Amino acid sequence: MAIPHENMEYRRLGATGLKVSVLSFGSWVTFDTQMADDPALECMQAAHDAGCNFFDNAEAYAGGKSESIMGRVFRDLGWPRWSYVLTTKLYWGIHGNDPNMRNTLNRKYLMQAIDGSLERLQHEFVDVVYCHRSDPNTPMHETVRAMSDIVASGKALYWGTSEWSADEIRHAIEIADRHHLHAPVTEQSQYNLLERRRVEREYGRLHEETGYGNTIWSPLASGLLSGKYRDGIPDDSRGALAGYEWLRERMSDEAAIAKIERLRPIADRLGCSMAQLAIAWCTLHPMVSTVITGASRASQVRENFGALDVIPQLTEDISAEMVQALK
């Protein structure tokens, strides 16, 4: 087993006893779209060497192919199952336009979708299964009971939410408590220097009252906060991918790029990259259990995890300076 990075911190996942690395690795966009098994293995090994024990996926990523790649990589790496935390997410579906298997959290879909994910991942269980979005067309009690049953069956150890409102999360917890079911324990929402409202405002009281955690995604705002789009969109970046025109348009926003460049002097002063600075900043919020990073090559993983050396340098004054720079 690799020796964890000396600066890696392991935090409780919300109010549970499960410990997750403060920086983690996810497969959104990259697996299958940008890389196949060999580079995926190299990236996961690089993350693991840095002390990462949390690996995130979703049924919808690359139509299930992302889970399949990660499953084969885990098989080839041969790590003990107890040594890592594996997560996936359900909601969007991968079975065409079938009304019961797409954009839903009904019981039929959830009970069949978890089996499909486990088959692709080549695992008997995931540590956390998330509802990838909320579903206003399915009664909340139906979703909560189905997710609780997945946990009770041993196919997942915990369940969580992704991009749910605080009211929806609170409703789910109340139903679970009232009926003695397994309640959700963590959210997975976007959080970065440009997207702060939900985590810092909407979830504030929820976190204080329940200890609800958050495994946040997009700490670099899809790469924008890395500063790499200052001179245009690199050919090997996700902004250049077919189907990501919405992202390309955002990455070409000259006003946003100019604003982000105000962070460069701070990064230079701390002796780090802008990406490392932005990732490190996300770890400061008390609700954040782990920051999910993404990469298309191992060198990028090592660059991102270099943020571990930056975290101790981020005082309250520097954090405030970063926030002020983007106003």
CATH code for position 204: 3.20.20.100
What pTM was estimated for this model as a whole? 0.93
- Asked if the structure places residue 152 within a domain, the reply is yes
Residue 223 tokens read as 């790469």
- Asked if the structure places residue 269 within a domain, the reply is no
158 is catalytic: no
- Asked if the structure places residue 211 within a domain, the reply is yes
**Least confident span in 23-32, 73-82, 127-136, 243-252:** 243-252
* Distance from C-alpha of 34 to C-alpha of 147, rounded to nearest angstrom: 32
Predicted confidence (pLDDT) at residue 326 exceeds the cutoff of 90: yes
- Asked if the structure places residue 94 within a domain, the reply is yes
- Asked if the structure places residue 38 within a domain, the reply is yes
pLDDT digits (tens, 9 = 90+) for 201-257: 999 999 999 999 999 999 999 899 999 877 666 666 555 566 666 666 666 678 889
Identified catalytic residue from 10, 61, 109, 158: 61
- Domain range enclosing 77: 10-221+276-314
Kindly give the pairing relationship between strand 19-21 and strand 10-12: antiparallel
* Distance from C-alpha of 281 to C-alpha of 92, rounded to nearest angstrom: 31
Contact 178, 148 (CB under 8 A): no
Percent pLDDT > 90 in the chain is 84
- Asked if the structure places residue 88 within a domain, the reply is yes
- End-to-end alpha carbon distance in the chain: 44
Residue 219 tokens read as 């700490």
Contact 31, 238 (CB under 8 A): no
- Asked if the structure places residue 262 within a domain, the reply is no
- Asked if the structure places residue 205 within a domain, the reply is yes
Q: Mean pLDDT across the chain, nearest whole number?
A: 93
* Distance from C-alpha of 119 to C-alpha of 96, rounded to nearest angstrom: 19
Question: What's the structural domain count of the chain?
Answer: 1
Query: DSSP per residue over 9-56, as a string?
Result: -EEESTTSS-EEESEEEE-TTTBTTTB-HHHHHHHHHHHHHTT--EEE
pLDDT digits (tens, 9 = 90+) for 3-60: 456 789 999 999 999 999 999 999 987 877 788 899 999 999 999 999 999 999 999 9
